[in-house]
Structure formats: C-alpha cells, structure tokens
Amino acid sequence: MAKMMYRDAVVSTIAEEMARDENVVCLGEDIVGGMGTPGGPEAIGGIWSTSTGLFGKFGADRMIDTPISESAIMGAAAGLALSGKRPIAELMFADFIGVSLDQIWNQLAKFRYMFGGKTKCPAVIRMAYGAGYNAAAQHSQAVHQILTGMPGLKVVMPTTPADVKGLLRTAIRDDDPVIFLEHKALYGVSGEVPDDPDYMIPFGHARLSRAGQDVTIVSTGLLLGFCEAVADKLAAEGIGCDVIDLRTTSPLDEEAILDSVEVTGRLIVVDEAPPRCSLGADICALVAEKAFASLKAPPLSVNPPHTPIPFARELESAYLPSVDKIEAAVRKVLSYR
C-alpha cells in the first residue's frame, strides 16, 4: 500500500498502463502542460496535474496535445479506438460534453452495436466534474445523469484514490467506451492505494463504506464523504447507516442497493446533479419497484435545486447538498410515522 493523492492515482495508473501496453495513448487540451510556451513542454503542467511527467516518459506520439476543439478530441478518440489503439481522452471540464456529444453519444457509444459486434471501441473519456470550486454554471456541473442514461457507455465515478486506481485500470483495459468522471474537489484527497500492478475493481460493484441496519444512504463522489460524516454522527446515537459508494452508475449495482434496503427499510440517495430525471430519482424508483415490501418510509433523494449552479460562493454552498442537509433528510426518513 502506498499513500497518494486522487490526482496522483490518475497519473500513476495511466503511466503504468501506457508502459504495459503501447496501444494506450492520451489526448486532450494542454495535457503536455506548457507546449508552445517559452519554458517548453511540461513547464507549466496541465490545469489538473493529471498528466504530470507522462510526456517525458512516452513522448509526443503518445501524449497528444489537441486544439481547443472537444468534438475533435472525441472524434479522434473514436477513430483511434476503432483502429486498434486504446485512447484516453481528457475533457478539461465535464461541462464541455455538450459540444462533443455527437461523437460520444451517436458514435462511440453505438459503434459496437451498429456494426453487429464486429468491432470494439476501447476508449476512455476522462473528465473533471463537480461544484465547490466557485467556477460558475458552465464549469461546475455533475453530468453523470446525462451520460448514465445513454446505452453503450459505462460510467465510472470514483471516490477514493484506491478506487481511482482500480477503476481506471479496469476502464483502460475494457473493450467498450468508458466515461471516467473525476471530481475536481477530490483531486487533492489522499488515501492508501494497493501496489498490485494488476489491481482492478470490476464495474457494477459498489463499495460499502459504513455498515448499519437502520437506513441505506447511496451516493458517490464528493458527497460520499458528507454521507460518511452523517453516518458517523448517527452511529453515536445508535442509528446505523449503510453507506453505499456506487463507484459506477452504469452498470449499477442494483443488488447491493436492494440487499441493503431489504435490511434497513429506508433509503436516501445523495446526488450532486439536479433532481429531475436524476440518478437519485432513478434509484428511488428502483427501490420503490423492487423493494416496496421492505420499505418503512418513502425513499428520499437529496439533490441540489433545479437551477443552474450559482457563482457566488455563499449561493454555491447553499446550492450543494451539505452534511446538515443530508442529516436532516436522514432524520426525516427515520421519523416517518
């Protein structure tokens, strides 16, 4: 085990996989970090420091700086993947999927299906998402609910450095397009990471981060830490929370959620995206459909309001689900009569 930051887990996993398989190539905006500046390549570093040192190790053929054209990045990744490479494309902000959506949604996600399984498309699309950085409505969004709803894509949302390691490796070695969502606010979080060069976490396999028998809390990403704080506080009062880190939203670990709710009878989903047609709504519906007989209270989803993300710091923190809001939601479900 080694202690490392979330962003370092990203870099080291990419480095290990590029060294292992020469077909792995990276492309994205400013991933070389300084190309064209007086200091030269790597003088400045990419904005998230998630590709530090890779250019020096693997060179310009495998670390491709692209123009500022997200549709070109995704189109190139799609072509690389079809022609036998394993591209890792980076979107600097997940919000930019809008301009590249045709490449992702109508091309990458559908090749394998439309070619009758005769081709595969092993692309990974990494993107930084999430609020809390005071980056306003176009640079703070959680886009998983849009991508999770698209058949043909696998959607990964790691929470810990260890999960970054295990899930990113699985994503790179997977033969289908994988969306890899990295939360900006987690890049600096440290944690123990297994040294095993083949450490992989299968998709659709949730992680239980707190075990309890009174309420099930489902989340992933930045908000999972908030849920753990609530669970620890309530545990002291004798109230047990099962905190489930989904890890991947597609495929979804339905079994882990239903098994837990069948024990607790109560469900809270904490989701960073707005409420309508959200992951929270989806899981509440799943539980209402398949665990209705076990429920002791209506399932509840905690989301931000149905508005764009505000810029002002105070409004942004009022917008996001917080520890207090999650605790209030848990208590509301627990006090259902």
Q: Which residues are catalytic?
A: 139
Scanning 4-12, 101-109, 177-185, 207-215 for contacts with another protein by CB under 8 A, the matching segment is 207-215
Binding mask 283-312 for another protein (x = CB under 8 A): ---------------x--------------
Tell whether residue 325 is a contact of another protein (CB under 8 A). no
Q: Cβ 282 to another protein, closest distance in Å?
A: 17
Count the alpha carbons within 13 Å of 241 in the hemisphere toward its beta carbon. 31
Tell whether residue 202 is a contact of another protein (CB under 8 A). yes
Scanning 31-39, 79-87, 209-217, 312-320 for contacts with another protein by CB under 8 A, the matching segment is 209-217
- Residue 292 DSSP label: G
Is 61 or 335 the residue whose CB approaches another protein more closely?
335
Distance CA 115, CA 109 (A): 12
For another protein, the binding residue among 18, 131, 256, 295 (CB under 8 A) is 256
Nearest Cα neighbor of 271 from 174, 142, 114, 99 is 142
Distances (CA, A) of 296 to 222, 265, 266, 291, 336: 28, 5, 6, 10, 8
Amino acid letter at 289? Answer: E
Tell whether residue 204 is a contact of another protein (CB under 8 A). yes
Tell whether residue 152 is a contact of another protein (CB under 8 A). no
Tell whether residue 275 is a contact of another protein (CB under 8 A). no
Count the alpha carbons within 13 Å of 38 in the hemisphere toward its beta carbon. 0
Three-state SS for 4?
strand
Task: Identify the sign of the CA torsion 157, 160, 162, 165.
Answer: positive
Count the alpha carbons within 13 Å of 286 in the hemisphere toward its beta carbon. 22
For another protein, the binding residue among 15, 82, 208, 229 (CB under 8 A) is 208
| Footprint of another protein on 233-252 (CB under 8 A) | 235, 238-242, 244, 251
Tell whether residue 98 is a contact of another protein (CB under 8 A). no
Tell whether residue 203 is a contact of another protein (CB under 8 A). yes
Binding mask 162-201 for another protein (x = CB under 8 A): -------------------------------------x--
Beta-sheet strands, E only, within 38-98: 63-65, 86-91
Q: Which helix (H) or strand (E) holds 218?
A: strand 215-219
Task: Identify the sign of the CA torsion 112, 117, 119, 123.
Answer: positive
Residues of the shown chain interacting with another protein in the complex, contacts defined by CB under 8 A: 199, 202-214, 235, 238-242, 244, 251, 253, 255-256, 259-260, 263, 298, 334-337
